[in-house]
């Protein structure tokens, strides 16, 4: 059983590992997901072909006393529902992947003596996984930074991503460079507005870069309007991109948020980035993610607050004029990507299932 979700950063790695685990253990392996009723898992898990158990549950952070009480009652009900499910189905292993549903499912598994492990995707572990780390038999983390923040607990496995991202090859670095702008599946309004404000400035570069921009549905029309100030045909705007491996392969530089899933795809593809951490992410984890990537020279960081003061344009112009810097950043990013991350996590799971030993797992 995989428990958690809520965001693509939690769910996509879980789906990759679920597929790798089924490949390793055989098609007869039964895999079930437990998730929040209003999370992204409601769409992605059934599309991937797995059954989904839904919980009515929400977070505590940023809520008033009454809403916190309601959230606590919902969490208690979720634990009870998970307990009934565990006793009825007796899973062999429960994997917490972060998100609101992860805590109740892992707790219920512990209380019914089902082996448990946790997958952490962020370089700054989330609150649920920080709390669960000492309560499970194994913790898989993306980096030494994450391991240190869990008090030295965990196995550094990297974050699993689809194999297609590792096939991106070297930076294209054609005569006209290519810029990919991402704001997550629903876009990022502050990035959208900043790109609109600097479109004219970028259009004056010789040659102006080709831009592909995932804007989200809500801002697609306004971004397209701003793109009219750009060279005709060189600024493409899409509400959503469903061919991300190909888009990254075609990009020389990426402007994006710093969610765990996005960063894993960037490092797998070996693409340099300007990271704009989402300032309201839980525990400010996107800033910590971005700083971990920037520390090794794979990215530059521009804060959300700096988007309006011209800093984004300055960094973009600087990097687009320095192909050697882009090559160095891309090479540094590729060093962080672990093509065997899913297999490393599967090996930990196999050890907990008693199929084969993997040594010390905590």
pLDDT (tens place) for every residue of the chain, 362 residues total: 999 988 777 888 999 999 999 999 998 999 999 998 888 899 999 999 999 999 988 765 656 777 778 878 888 899 999 999 999 999 999 999 988 889 999 999 999 999 999 999 888 888 888 889 999 999 999 888 889 989 999 999 989 998 999 999 999 999 999 999 998 767 789 999 999 999 999 999 999 999 999 999 889 999 999 898 887 789 999 998 889 999 999 999 999 999 888 999 999 999 999 999 999 887 788 999 999 899 999 999 999 999 988 899 999 999 999 999 999 999 999 998 888 999 999 999 999 999 864 443 43
Cβ-contact 163, 142 below 8 angstroms: no
Amino acid 361: pLDDT:
42
16 to each of 85, 119, 333, 348, how far by Cα in Å?
24, 12, 21, 15
Amino acid 358: pLDDT:
45
Phi, psi (deg, nearest 5) at residue 118? -130, 140
From CA 198, how far away is CA 153, in angstroms rounded? 44
Amino acid 61: pLDDT:
61
Amino acid 194: pLDDT:
94
For residue 22, the Cα-to-chain-centroid distance in whole angstroms is: 22
From CA 51, how far away is CA 29, in angstroms rounded? 13
Give the full edge-to-edge strand order of the sheet including 253-256. 235-238, 210-214, 178-182, 253-256, 273-275, 299-301
Beta bridge partners of 181: 213, 255
Q: Is 169 left (phi over 0), alpha (psi -120 to 50) or beta?
A: left
Beta bridge partners of 212: 180, 236
282-288-291 Cα angle (round to 5): 150
The DSSP 8-state label assigned to residue 31 in this structure reads -
What tokens appear for 223 in the block? 């971004």
For the chain, domain boundaries? 2-159+339-352, 164-336
Beta bridge partners of 138: 117
User: Of 81, 82, 57, which Cα lies nearest the Cα of 70?
Assistant: 57
User: Can you tell me whether residue 214 is helix, strand or coil?
Assistant: strand
Pairing of strands 33-36, 2-3: parallel
The DSSP 8-state label assigned to residue 310 in this structure reads T
Task: Tell me if 2-159+339-352 shares its fold with 164-336.
Answer: yes
Tally helices (H) and strands (E) across the chain: 14, 13
* Dihedral sign computed on CA atoms, order 322, 145, 45, 71: negative
- CATH fold for domain 164-336: Rossmann fold (3.40.50)
From CA 71, how far away is CA 343, in angstroms rounded? 36
Determine if the peptide bond prior to 207 is cis (ω within 30°): yes
* Dihedral sign computed on CA atoms, order 239, 254, 98, 4: positive
User: Of 254, 237, 252, 232, which Cα lies nearest the Cα of 192?
Assistant: 237
User: Of 310, 286, 282, 58, which Cα lies nearest the Cα of 273?
Assistant: 286
Assigned superfamily of 2-159+339-352: Glycogen Phosphorylase B; (3.40.50.2000)
Nearest 10 degrees: Cα torsion 119, 122, 126, 129: 20
């Amino acid at each position: 059983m995989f428990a958690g979700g809520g965001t693509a950063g939690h769910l996509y790695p879980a789906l990759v590992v679920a597929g790798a685990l089924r490949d390793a253990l055989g098609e007869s392996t039964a895999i079930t997901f437990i998730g929040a009723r209003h999370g992204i898992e409601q769409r992605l898990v059934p599309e991937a072909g797995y059954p989904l158990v839904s919980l009515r549950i929400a977070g505590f952070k940023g809520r008033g006393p009454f809403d916190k009480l309601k959230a606590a009652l919902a969490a208690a009900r979720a634990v009870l529902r998970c307990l009934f499910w565990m006793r009825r189905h007796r899973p062999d292993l429960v994997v917490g992947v972060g998100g609101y549903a992860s805590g109740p499912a892992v707790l219920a598994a512990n209380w019914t003596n089902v082996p448990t492990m946790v997958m952490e995707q962020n370089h700054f572990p989330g609150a649920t996984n920080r709390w669960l780390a000492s309560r499970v038999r194994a913790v898989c983390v993306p980096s030494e930074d994450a391991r240190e923040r869990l008090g030295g607990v965990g196995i550094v496995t990297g974050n699993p991503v689809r194999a297609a991202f590792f096939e991106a090859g070297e930076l294209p670095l054609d005569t006209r460079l290519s810029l990919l702008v991402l704001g997550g599946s629903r876009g990022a309004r502050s990035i959208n507005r900043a790109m609109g404000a600097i479109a004219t400035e970028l259009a004056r570069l010789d040659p102006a870069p080709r831009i592909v921009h995932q804007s989200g549905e809500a801002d697609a029309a306004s971004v397209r309007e701003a793109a009219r100030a750009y060279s005709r045909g060189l600024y493409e705007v899409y509400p959503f991109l469903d061919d991300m491996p190909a888009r990254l392969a075609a990009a020389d530089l990426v402007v994006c948020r710093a969610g765990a899933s996005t960063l894993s795809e960037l490092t797998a593809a070996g693409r340099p980035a300007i990271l704009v951490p989402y300032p309201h992410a839980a525990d400010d984890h996107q800033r910590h993610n971005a700083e971990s990537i920037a520390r090794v020279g794979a990215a530059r960081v521009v804060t959300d607050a700096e988007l309006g003061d011209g800093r984004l344009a300055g960094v973009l112009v600087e990097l687009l004029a320095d192909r050697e810097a882009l090559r160095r950043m891309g090479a540094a990013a590729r060093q962080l990507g672990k093509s065997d991350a899913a297999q490393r996590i599967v090996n930990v799971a196999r050890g907990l299932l008693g199929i084969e030993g993997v040594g010390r797992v905590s």
